[in-house]
Amino acid sequence: MITVTVRYFAALRERRGLETELMQTSETTTIGRLYAQIFPPGPDGALPVAYAQNHVRVPGATPLADGDEVAFLPPLGGG
């Protein structure tokens, strides 16, 4: 098992009720699979997100490593 830090923002932060948490997961988990585990698609489907690993955008198929900081980025609204 590995431990990653997960950061939540905007609608996901509200849905999770947390800004950040430590999470244990298997070494074979990808960042996309972790997202689906934490936020199982509901009747409206999953919120489309971008994935960030240690502050860098990565594809959903990216494997995780112990100590990673992981974030799921909902559609952006800056400006």
Nearest to 54 by CA among 10, 16, 7, 2: 7
Binding of residue 78 to other proteins (CB under 8 A): yes
Minimum gap (Å) between residue 6 Cβ and other proteins: 12
Q: Report in angstroms how near the CB of residue 50 gets to other proteins at its nearest.
A: 8
Element holding 37 (H helix, E strand): helix 31-38
Q: Which stretch binds other proteins (CB under 8 A): 7-15, 21-29, 34-42, 60-68?
A: 7-15
CB 57 within 8 A of CB 21: no
Q: Does 16 bind other proteins (CB under 8 A)?
A: no
